[in-house]
Structure 1
Amino acid sequence: MSTVVAIVVFVIAYLLIATERIPKMTAALAGAGVVLGVGVVGADEAFYSHDTGVDWNVIFLLLGMMIIVGILRRTGVFEYIAIWAAKRAKGSPLRVLILLVLITAIASAFLDNVTTVLLIAPVTLLVCDRLGISPAPFLIAEVFASNIGGTATLIGDPPNIIIGSRAGLTFNDFLVHLAPIVVIEVVVFCFVLRWLFRGSFAADPERIAEVMALNERETIRDTRLLVKCGIVLGAVFAGFVGHSVFHLEPSVVALLGAGVLVLVSQARPRDYLVSVEWETLLFFAGLFIMIGALVHTGVIADLARLAADATGGNALVAVLLILGVSAVVSGIIDNIPYVATMAPLVADLVARIPDPGHAQALWWSLALGADFGGNLTAVGASANVVMLGIARREGYPISFWEFTRKGAVVTAITVLLAAPYLWLRYFVLG
């Protein structure tokens, strides 16, 4: 009975989120309330369990970085970068988008994709305001780029951290095996931007001329605070990259950075808390509890086991099936709990395959499928939810289906490119 309740609640909440009949935060919290209220999961499973509870690492990573961004915003650096980007692109909206997409993809590989979208969104909103165009297509494209670029490294996308921990894979392993296909994916994505967002690149020549006449250096309002922010951000980024050495979770690093920056900047709470997306954080909490109910009742494990059993012991079939299933399922639910559930099953499959190269390809197919599948829908990845929350708060709401129509195309393209890469690299070239 608990299994049925968990499935029904998730499906209803998902439909409400997709149709936007009620605010998605309300739908997620209501669904979480039902599974808690009827006893599908208890307080221990919802709030304290690593496997079925709220992922507090994600929640506090977001909170810490939102506070840092709130203080950084006071320096004027986002206006500086926005004007700099627009001038380097000669005011062309398409060239601006390509430039911001490349910056987002590269930054997401060495930070994490959630942090990157928190930093790039203010820049995007400012440059689009200067050019007099809607930022919605830019924000959508950037979150796609963040999920693609974040695939390249161990720390770029949260599912990679789970895979790395389970499979004993290092930062360099991810860089060597996944960075080549990610570079190809980013280049192809840049080429399809004009078609994917056609009709979104018309700008007023007068607005372009005004931007070209601006001096970006005049936008810096507080140089001393900018220096302090730069030092703290540098330390935070170093903590992200070296988290396996320092044994500090990214969430702890972000909170420490936020605390230090609040202290040295002497900022008042109202100055930085205004940048915290409370609705997004609460939506994540509700979503984690509902998905945790599916994990707790064995629904996700059963689905993953069915996919694993369907391979019939063939390594290539297993790789391609894991890639496809991961892309679809990760797009429907968040890719973090999916990978957490799938990782033990992949480990079991890896142990049954005698060829080490073929066996390791299973891990890379899981990473590529889950990370690229995060672009499928508005709730497929944490970065998606964060970016859409920012867009809504700034007065540019992006609907679930507007995002998903574009996301389905991007997911299809990236997965179709990943499949031959896995085949050629691990089964043809060895």
Structure 2
Amino acid sequence: MTTALVVTAFIAAYVLIATERIHRVAAALWGAAAMVLLGVVDAKTAFFSEETGVDWNVIFLLLGMMIIVGVLRQTGIFEYLAIWAAKRARGKPFAVMTMLIVITAVASALLDNVTTVLLVAPVTLLVCDRLGIKPVPFLIAEAMASNIGGAATLVGDPPNIIIASRSGLTFNDFLVHLAPVVVILLVVFVGLCRVMFRSALTYDEARVQAVMELDEREAIEDRGLLLRSLGILALVLVGFMTHSVLHVEPSVVALLGAGAAVAVSRLEPSDYLAEVEWPTLVFFGGLFVMVGALVKTGVVEHIGQSLTDAVGDRLFLASSVVVAGSAVLSGVVDNIPYVATMAPIIKDLAGPLGVDAQHDSLWWALALGADLGGNATAVGASANVVILGIAARNGHPISFWTFTKYGLVVAFVTVALSWVYLWLRYFALA
């Protein structure tokens, strides 16, 4: 009975988020409160459990990077990059979009997708403002590009980190097995953006000419702070890429970087805290509690176990079900807790690493399904939620369905191509 009530409460909260009858933060908090009132969640479950509680690593990673972005904004670097990008693209919207997509995807492979969108979104807003074009299509494209690019490496997307820790896969394993298909998907995605956003890719010749006459170097307001902040950011990025060697969580690296940036900036708290997306952080908290209740009651595990029972030892069918099922479920619940729940199931199904390529393909199916399926809806991936928060705070709200109507197309196409890739590489040509 309790499980049925938990599922009902989750669906009700999700419907409120999707329909936007109330603000998504309120819907997430109401959903979390329902889980508490149903007796499924208590303080220990919500705040201290790694399996069912708030993922504080995600929350504090976001907070730290938001503060660093807040310090960087005071230097004028985002204005500089916006003018530089617009001039290199000759003011043509599709060229600008393609440039930002590629930058976002590559950066997401090296960092993580949430950090990347936090850095790229301010530049995007400024570029669009300079050119007089609507930023919403660009922001949506960047969120999706970050999820696609992040799938290429171990550190690119939080689900990949979870998969690596549970499976024993290395950074090079991810690069060799996933980077090739991600490059293909990125090219296809650029083509999809050309079709999906064609009506928004118009521009004003006069605005373009005005931008071409600007000198981007004049946008830098504090060169000393810029150099110090970029040095700290570089150290943070190195920390992200070597965190598994250093045994320091990315969230700790981000907070240390934020503290150093604040220390060298000597700015007032109101200056650097202005970039913190507090509603987004609270929304994540509520969402984690709701999903954690599904995990605790065994709903997610039951779904995953049902999938594995259905496929048995038929590995191609298993890979197909995992990639498709992961895509669907990651579009509904955040892909971080989903992968954390599915990883032990996949470990049992795949067995030890190196048995053969077909068994190992189950891990790649999980990674591709979860990472790419996160594009399907506005709450499917952390980067999507962050982009929506940034857009809303800057006066360009993106509704759940505005994002989702494009996301469903992108998720379907990219997951379908990934399925073909899995079949060719690990079964047909193995």
- Bucket of the pairwise TM-score, normalised by the shorter protein: over 0.9
2:377 is matched with: 377
Shift of 1:312: 2.8
What are the within-5 Å matches in structure 2 for residues 145-184 of structure 1? Answer: 145-184=145-184
Residue 33, structure 1, aligned to residue 70, structure 2: no
Between the aligned residues of both structures, percent identity stands at 62
Report if aligned partners of 1:36, 1:42 keep a CA contact under 8 Å in 2: yes
- For 2:353 and 2:251, the matched residues in 1 are separated by 36
SS state at 1:41 partner = coil
Deviates more, 1:235-244 or 1:191-200: 191-200
Report if aligned partners of 1:77, 1:219 keep a CA contact under 8 Å in 2: yes
Unaligned runs of 5+ in 1: none
Shift of 1:4: 1.5
2:273 is matched with: 273
Shift of 1:37: 2.4
2:240 is matched with: 240
1:331 is matched with: 331
Q: Give the letter for the 1:36 counterpart.
A: V
SS state at 2:202 partner = coil
1:52 is matched with: 52
Q: Give the letter for the 1:124 counterpart.
A: T
Q: CA RMSD in A?
A: 1.1
- For 1:173 and 1:225, the matched residues in 2 are separated by 39
Q: Give the letter for the 2:214 counterpart.
A: L
Report if aligned partners of 1:391, 1:398 keep a CA contact under 8 Å in 2: yes
Report if aligned partners of 2:353, 2:360 keep a CA contact under 8 Å in 1: no
Residues 229-269 of structure 1, C-alpha deviation per residue, up to 9 Å, x if partnerless? 11100100000000011100000000000001101111110
Q: Give the letter for the 2:194 counterpart.
A: R
Report if aligned partners of 2:163, 2:339 keep a CA contact under 8 Å in 1: yes
1:260 is matched with: 260
1:2 is matched with: 2
**Change in 2 beyond 3 A, CA 1:364/1:267:** same
- For 2:355 and 2:119, the matched residues in 1 are separated by 43
- For 1:374 and 1:313, the matched residues in 2 are separated by 27
Shift of 1:428: 2.3
Report if aligned partners of 1:361, 1:422 keep a CA contact under 8 Å in 2: yes
Report if aligned partners of 1:196, 1:406 keep a CA contact under 8 Å in 2: yes
What are the within-5 Å matches in structure 2 for residues 363-374 of structure 1? Answer: 363-374=363-374
1:404 is matched with: 404
- For 2:310 and 2:196, the matched residues in 1 are separated by 35
- For 2:223 and 2:199, the matched residues in 1 are separated by 39
- For 1:92 and 1:353, the matched residues in 2 are separated by 48
Residues 318-349 of structure 1, C-alpha deviation per residue, up to 9 Å, x if partnerless? 00110000000000100001100100100010
Deviates more, 1:185-194 or 1:286-295: 185-194
Counting matched residue pairs gives: 430
- For 1:229 and 1:111, the matched residues in 2 are separated by 17
Runs of 4+ in 1 over 3 A off after TM superposition: 352-355
- For 2:110 and 2:303, the matched residues in 1 are separated by 32
What are the within-5 Å matches in structure 2 for residues 30-429 of structure 1? Answer: 30-351=30-351, 355-429=355-429
Report if aligned partners of 2:167, 2:353 keep a CA contact under 8 Å in 1: no
- What TM-score do you get using the length of structure 2 for normalisation? 0.99
Report if aligned partners of 1:233, 1:257 keep a CA contact under 8 Å in 2: yes
SS state at 2:351 partner = helix
SS state at 2:200 partner = coil
Unaligned runs of 5+ in 2: none
- What TM-score do you get using the length of structure 1 for normalisation? 0.99
- For 1:184 and 1:66, the matched residues in 2 are separated by 31
Report if aligned partners of 2:354, 2:360 keep a CA contact under 8 Å in 1: no
